Structure 1
């Protein structure tokens, strides 16, 4: 069964799958949040999903949909580990009111802390590595000495959860456009990687991706690191048509973002080679910006306007 046929089957199956929704999630400054505390899945561990609706949300209007990773970091700094947030509700509300972007909802998908790297690391580029490189990468450590991976790479399963379980639920429950031209995905760091991967693995589902501070090294060292080359080769062979898709990249140059400038330049060459222009692709550099939610919040209006501009 192909991807689209399977998607259609699951869409019918979700008619009897109605997760319990509450308003007990993060606080927002504008709009409202619906919260599913434990969205169950046959592919990945259950997790919280929050759906942000803009002010004046109405069943009489059709909305675009933006899927965002690391959902616990999006709305409420009072609940985040570092007391920072993306400020998605504030930025989205301002842009909608100014009519700079079309109305949309945000589906915030919480990460599972111990599985974040395993779920967000693009699986097919990983599987293209030699067995020795795979094992070496699985043993990689963070800068603080802790292990990067607690499990094998399972990002293909994570994307199946998004496409075959979560999206059908959103399409059934909310007044949204369901086509790829109104369905987008966004994340930062490892979330940037999985956002690009989602669009390339499911180009008929996601019409655009925004990848902020994309973690092209995959791990936390560049010494004998085969990962960027694997990503480049995958990109070069899987980018969808620039006539039908959009993709956004950016990075700063401080803290972890200091690793990215040269790697992003190689990605940009691949974008040009595959026919992408300023109409359907942007890469921005933000000197002085660090790898943090505060930095992503400051420039969130740029990718939102690029993907959802009127």
Structure 2
């Protein structure tokens, strides 16, 4: 079934598609051609957990980037997905994770890099580092507008349209690669909105690693300074970081090591407030992320200790 509707809080006209529900597997909704101020048109796939349509329960919300690669291989870039719905169901079966609504935000094609690159890292970069980033953007960096839209109009519409629990500790954000950077950006720059963040295989080089150079000291220093300035105290928040060791992930260890040291030095307790994992042999691709997503969600979204 297809119908048009106005989503007032988003200030847009979208196409809504209901995907048939599968028993005990939840239900998918899709919203196309979403206008967002300062951004390319956006698109959403929203997963409602089993039981949503049969009661009045309110649910925490998980926002995820690269929404086209989350659920349906036919709509994905590489015919493989994170299987985010299945990962959530697996986490729920442990009894430690409540059902969450998943809001998958599709990447806007060629504009993905400039939408996900944190402005806090791009703006102060100079010289060859700035040139390497600019070579990848293809236009102005709009991550600040993207974050404003997620934390503002999008979240307002989700909370008004679905039975959510809108508080900070019931609002999580997860992504991989550049989406991992964007998830950290949201967590650091909007600590009152996002109480949980999963930064998976985060692309710390923030450009082509061959252009940036292995373990670029300037870039490591910028990441360290950003986390030092913006992380703050845990105050009940949780942060997950990880990477593999193959393909693009092979470039990430020096950056992750420095960031881990900064988080620990900031008074965060590893295993309680934050976690950082290395997956030997894991590549930079959806199957690798799907394999560990139940573990990520199980730790990140667990009920209070």
TM-score normalised to structure 2 length:
0.89
**Alpha-carbon separation, structure 2, partners of 1:28 and 1:283:** 35
Once the two structures are TM-superposed, the CA of residue 90 in structure 1 deviates from its matched residue by 1.1
Distance 1:299 1:56 in 2: 25
Aligned twin of 1:44:
39
Tell me how far 1:80 sits from its aligned partner: 1.6
The question of whether the paired residues in 2 share the 8 Å contact of 1:27 and 1:75 is answered with: no
Matched, 1:157 2:142: no
Of the three residues 184, 190, 193, the one matched with 1:196 is 184
User: Displacement, 1:83?
Assistant: 1.2
Aligned to 2:295: 302
Shift of 1:31: 0.9
Q: CA deviation at 1:239?
A: 0.4
Q: Which residue of 1 aligns with 2:235?
A: 243
What is the RMSD computed on CA atoms of the aligned residues?
Answer: 2.3
Report the equivalent of 1:223: 213
Q: 2:275 aligns with which of 278, 282, 297?
A: 282
CA deviation after TM superposition for structure 1 residue 49, in Å: 0.6
Task: Please tell me whether the aligned partners of residues 211 and 248 of structure 1 are also in contact (alpha carbons under 8 angstroms).
Answer: yes
Task: Tell me the SS of whatever aligns to 2:203.
Answer: coil
Equivalent residues of 2:24, 2:50 under 8 A apart:
no
Report deviation, 1:136.
Answer: 4.7
CA 27–132 in structure 1, closer or farther in 2 if over 3 Å, else same: farther
Cα distance between partner residues in 2 of 1:75 and 1:136: 33
User: 1:80 & 1:250 partners in 2: Cα distance?
Assistant: 23
| Structure with the higher fraction of residues in strand conformation | 2
- Change in 2 beyond 3 A, CA 1:175/1:19: farther
> What are the superposed Cα offsets for residues 254-310 of structure 1, whole Å, 9 maximum, x if unpaired?
111100112111110001111111211000111011001000000001221122113
Deviation of the 1:133 alpha carbon: 4.3
Between stretches 18-27 and 200-209, larger displacement belongs to: 18-27
Q: CA deviation at 1:18?
A: 7.5
Query: Are the structure 2 counterparts of residues 27 and 213 from structure 1 closer, same or farther at C-alpha, using a change threshold of 3 Å?
Result: farther
- Number of aligned pairs? 290
Aligned equivalent of 1:73: 69
Matched residue, 1:4: none
Looking at structure 2, the residues matched to 166 and 121 of structure 1 have their Cα atoms a distance apart, in angstroms, of: 19
Local SS of the residue matching 1:22 = strand
Q: Which runs of 5+ in 1 are unaligned?
A: 1-12, 140-147
Deviates more, 1:177-186 or 1:299-308: 299-308
1:181: which partner in 2?
169
Q: What is the DSSP-based 3-state SS (H/G/I as helix, E as strand, rest coil) of the residue aligned with 1:203?
A: coil
